[in-house]
Amino acid sequence: MQLYNLEDKNILKKKLMEEPFKRVTVSFYRYVIIENPLELRDELYQEWSELNAFGRTYLAKEGINAQMSVPEENWYEFVQKVHAREYFKNIPFKIAVEDDGKSFYKLKVKVRNKIVADGLNDGDFDVTNVGKHLTAKEFNEALADPNSLVIDMRNHYESEVGHFEGALCPDADTFREELPQVEEILKGNEDKKVLLYCTGGIRCEKASAYLKHKGIQDVNQLHGGIIDYVRQIKAEKLDNKFKGKNFVFDERLGERISEEIISECHQCGKPCDDHTNCSNDDCHLLFIQCAECAEKMDGACTPECQEIANMPVEMQREIRKGKEKPDAHSVYKSRLRPKLNQKIDN
């Protein structure tokens, strides 16, 4: 069996949009020692392909980090097969808050050195000595404690469109970059009750262990992250303390958690929390763009990118030849952020 995809992405996206059945979008992770990630990678790819499952999964010797889209008719079998493996026995599944079934259009299972890039040497501290896991109810109660310090462990473009009330949101482009910023924030606040949260909980697992290693005593983390928080507040009819959208790393780019729009279009300044990737294939910068600016700019982040995106494909390829692709985070800081106060003319 072929263990990778060869079809053009546009064909795959068209097939996805034409599917007559519903899909379930789910995420799950676990830190567990996997003896042979390469072998497991091939087994999972074949197993999930037979179930017509799409998604993106990272495997490493330290565990699994998966976001998947599974046909409803195959959901029960998918769960059974995942739980049947000793590595993933009873692994918790986090079902998407908003799901149109169009989150992924193909299957990727990759082996990496780590399931989350954190830049840490895990041999330096006990990665299993994590913070206390809080339910949604306990997290809400802790938010009301004046001695609490709540920290968003996600990237700036995630927290920009949604975060918990009173949260400190470091201006970080990556999880690796955020950890030292959080350490700096906590200097002089070692006696605070520290509340950590992220999308599904995986980043907080490593962050809480690292902060405890650094001497922070009262470290707590939102169990199941924002995704499971929403499930719990709905089930238990609790107050929602999260404002805006929950950014997700799939085709949807976001799940609405509350009606508040707390961010603005990077090009005109109107209230907006819709992310898009720049239409210039040599850029693909992730930024916030309203519908009006998307139409005016043809989905591009700057006039320069708009001009390139509208060129014939062959000409675009010629421009890209021998050109090193810039880092998207650096581009955002140098090209787009300075323009937030110099909006594109209407």
Q: Which residues are catalytic?
A: 198
What span, in angstroms and rounded, lies between the C-alpha atoms of 198 and 203?
A: 6
Tokens 């992250």 appear where? 225
Residues 36, 38, 39, 42, CA torsion sign: positive
What span, in angstroms and rounded, lies between the C-alpha atoms of 59 and 25?
A: 19
Long-range contacts of 285-293 (CB under 8 A, 24+ apart): 285/328, 285/331, 285/332, 285/335, 285/336, 286/157, 286/328, 286/332, 287/157, 287/332, 287/336, 288/160, 288/161, 288/263, 288/264, 289/265, 290/265, 292/268, 293/265, 293/267, 293/268, 293/344
Q: Look at residue 337 and give its three-state secondary structure.
A: helix
